[in-house]
């Protein structure tokens, strides 16, 4: 279905417009001397793509199911351009009974916020039988991806890689290209969504794990992905977690991986034997082929059950790496490293991830505390951020209203206008049992700090219903999918939740739901690497933990801040007018 992860897939070039006399189009601009948020080349080149979105029967792991495919491919075609190019993608909706829209994950969309691809926020959906052309200029460079932002269509295969060639600060010889890793479901997304709501936000169990859309299922010998190594060469791998829910642990048996970029942010290189990616996150790594010309080794993608609920046998995907003289009729026999099946759900320590181009956050114009809660709402449960949940009107996009000067939005749309405030700082506190990969549109955020919340009295000093229990990491693992071999069970007993909806601690005043930020803080005010904190567009927020994020208000628009889980979105839209 896709050339990615096959012998037919060619390595990527350093850039598409290489000039032997002058090199790539960014010339002297490099990782350490250029602030890509403010300065970039202008090639005058537009790269064009034509996408047809259709519902088709396919069998990536040998089991036929209905998927939403881009040009009949899964993963979708690679979008490739140079830093300084523009891209133009015409999307034709061939789905007969529903709309669609594409979000270009990690694109800042400076000066083009209507191209962000979120229906009800930036645009109306693309109607069945209709088309829409996205035109924008990528501001940053590196590895990204695109996916449907309409309902949960991305859970049924509607996604693909996006590569913006740019300067390199770590040398390598061969660019292997995108390696997408994703959990996978044998049911169409609408069935998953219905079960998700009927079961009061119980995370749906995935059926498999895929690398570049490939893996076997239950011993059926469906084709695996494969990659080529050349002995003595350094290889760049562009790792992308396109999962609906799963945290992914990526490793190569017996090899270290040098991490050179997270999301669209080049970083000071560091070495690890396992790369951890939450949904939506990307890491570019360089791997030295130190083996012999006849070697073959396994690349592994493992989704820990305590982070990523799945059916038994669904947690591991493997791909074969063949050296130039390897016998390709024989599968590798290498063994996993000691940390390949690590069960920690969080990202690497903030101290390890140092941006190569330093930027220092100033004092924020606004600081707010945002507890994330799961609350019952009639027949189901909904996610709330700071006492508010979220709905949009597909036929009345928020950005169009803001452009027309209408900044009064219905309360349920959860829009907050920060006007001319220079920067925003949020202490996002996870009171529940699920991890949340927090994603921002239109910006990269600094990740200033992270850590555990002691208890609910820290988050809700004025009292809160007992169902807002802060789980310890161990409790969260027990409730969220269980350990390896354990049976999955609900993270919440629904009856006690509903019975306690109106209960409060009698000896404490009730919180004021009309005041955003009237909560306690888990954060002690410390910042990791305050002169140059980590930057990225997705950061994992563990159960019972907090993260502190900050970004500059330098990009006018309406930008969602939400959980990247495909069916757990909890947007809190931010308006800069």
CA 235 to chain centre: 24
Q: What is the C-alpha separation between 114 and 212, in angstroms, rounded?
A: 30
**pLDDT the model gives residue 20:** 61
Cβ neighbours for 219, distance < 8 A, ≥ 6 positions apart: none
Q: Is 171 helix (H, G, I), strand (E, B) or coil?
A: coil
pLDDT (tens, 9 = 90+) of the chain, 577 residues, equals: 789 998 888 999 999 986 766 789 999 999 999 999 999 999 999 999 999 999 999 999 999 999 999 999 999 999 999 999 999 999 999 999 999 999 999 999 999 999 999 999 999 999 999 999 999 999 999 999 999 999 999 999 999 999 999 999 999 999 999 999 999 999 999 888 877 777 655 667 899 999 999 999 999 999 999 999 999 999 999 999 999 999 999 999 999 999 999 999 999 999 999 999 999 999 999 999 999 999 999 999 999 998 888 899 999 999 999 999 999 999 999 999 999 999 999 999 999 999 999 999 999 999 999 998 877 777 777 888 888 888 899 999 999 999 999 989 998 898 988 888 889 999 999 987 788 999 999 999 999 999 998 887 888 877 665 555 565 544 544 554 333 333 322 222 222 222 322 332 333 344 434 334 568 899 999 999 999 999 999 999 998 899 999 999 999 999 999 997 765 554 555 554 3
Q: Going by DSSP bridges, is the β-strand pair 296-302/282-288 parallel, antiparallel, or unpaired?
A: unpaired
Q: For the chain, which domains are there?
A: 366-576 (2.60.40.420)
Closest by Cα among 311, 105, 320 to 211: 320
Q: What is the C-alpha separation between 20 and 337, in angstroms, rounded?
A: 42
User: Across-strand partners of 52?
Assistant: 92
Q: What is the DSSP letter of 539?
A: E
pTM for this model (two decimals): 0.91
Spell out the long-range contacts of 377-384 with Cβ–Cβ below 8 A and sequence spacing 24 or more: 379/197, 379/198, 380/197, 380/198, 380/200, 380/201, 381/200, 381/201, 381/492, 381/494, 381/497, 382/201, 383/201, 383/563, 383/568, 383/569, 383/570, 384/570
For residues 31 and 266, the answer to whether their CB atoms sit within 8 Å is: yes
Instruction: Give CA separation, 553 vs 35, 110, 116, 154, 246, in Å.
Output: 16, 12, 17, 29, 31
**pLDDT the model gives residue 512:** 38
**Phi/psi at 423 (nearest 5 deg)?**
-155, 160
| Secondary structure, 3-state, 387-441 | CECCCCCCCCCHHHHHHCCCCCCCHHHCEEECCCCCEEEEEEEECCCCCEEEEEC
For residues 65 and 59, the answer to whether their CB atoms sit within 8 Å is: yes
**pLDDT the model gives residue 307:** 87
């Amino acid at each position: 279905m896709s050339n990615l992860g096959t012998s037919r897939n060619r390595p990527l070039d350093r850039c598409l417009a290489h000039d032997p006399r002058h090199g790539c189009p960014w010339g002297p601009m490099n990782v350490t001397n250029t602030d890509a948020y403010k300065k970039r080349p202008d090639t005058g080149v537009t790269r064009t793509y034509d996408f047809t979105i259709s519902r088709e029967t396919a069998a990536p792991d040998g089991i036929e199911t209905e998927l939403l495919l881009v040009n009949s491919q899964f993963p979708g075609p690679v979008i490739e351009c140079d830093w300084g190019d523009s891209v133009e993608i015409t999307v034709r909706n061939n789905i007969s009974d529903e709309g669609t829209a594409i979000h270009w994950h990690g694109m800042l969309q400076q000066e083009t916020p209507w191209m962000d691809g979120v229906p009800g926020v930036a645009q109306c959906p693309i109607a069945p039988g209709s088309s829409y052309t996205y035109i924008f200029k990528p501001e940053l460079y590196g590895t990204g991806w695109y996916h449907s932002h309409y309902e949960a269509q991305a859970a049924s295969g509607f996604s693909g890689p996006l590569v913006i060639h740019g300067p390199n600060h770590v040398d390598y010889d061969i660019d292997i290209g995108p390696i997408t890793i994703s959990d996978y479901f044998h049911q169409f997304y609408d069935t998953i969504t219905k079960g998700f709501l009927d079961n009061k936000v119980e995370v749906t169990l995935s059926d498999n794990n895929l690398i570049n859309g490939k893996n076997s299922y239950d011993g059926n010998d469906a084709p695996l992905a494969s990659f080529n190594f050349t002995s003595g060469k350094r290889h760049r791998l562009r790792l992308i977690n396109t999962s609906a829910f799963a945290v992914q642990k990526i490793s190569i048996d017996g090899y270290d991986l040098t991490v050179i970029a997270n999301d669209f942010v080049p970083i000071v290189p560091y070495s690890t034997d396992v790369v951890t990616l939450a949904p939506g996150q990307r890491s570019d790594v360089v791997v030295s082929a130190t083996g012999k010309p006849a070697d073959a080794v396994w690349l592994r993608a493992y989704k820990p059950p305590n982070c990523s609920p799945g059916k038994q046998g669904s947690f591991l995907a493997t791909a074969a790496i063949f050296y130039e003289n390897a016998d390709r009729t024989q599968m590798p026999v290498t063994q996993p490293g000691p940390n390949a099946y690590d069960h920690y759900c969080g990202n690497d320590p903030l101290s390890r991830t140092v941006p190569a181009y330093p930027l220092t956050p100033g004092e924020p114009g606004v600081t707010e505390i945002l507890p994330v809660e799961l609350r019952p709402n009639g027949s189901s449960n909904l996610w709330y951020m700071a006492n508010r949940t979220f709905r949009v009107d597909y036929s009345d996009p928020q950005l169009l209203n803001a452009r027309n000067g209408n900044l009064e939005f219905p309360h349920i749309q959860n829009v907050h206008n920060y006007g001319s405030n220079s920067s925003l700082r949020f202490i996002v506190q996870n009171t529940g049992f699920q991890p949340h990969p927090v994603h921002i549109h239109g910006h990269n955020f600094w990740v200033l700090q992270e850590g555990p919340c002691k208890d609910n009295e820290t988050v809700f000093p004025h009292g809160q219903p007992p169902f807002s229990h802060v789980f310890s990491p161990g409790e969260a693992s027990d409730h969220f999918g269980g350990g390896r071999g354990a049976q999955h069970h609900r993270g919440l007993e629904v009856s006690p939740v509903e019975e306690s909806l109106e209960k409060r601690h009698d000896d404490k005043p009730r919180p004021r739901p009309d005041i955003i930020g009237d909560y306690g803080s888990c954060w002690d005010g410390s910042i990791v690497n305050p002169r140059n904190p980590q930057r990225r567009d997705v950061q994992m927020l563990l159960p019972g933990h907090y993260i502190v994020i900050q970004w500059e208000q330098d990009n006018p628009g309406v930008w969602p801040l939400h959980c990247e889980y495909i069916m757990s979105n909890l947007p809190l839209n931010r308006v800069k007018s």
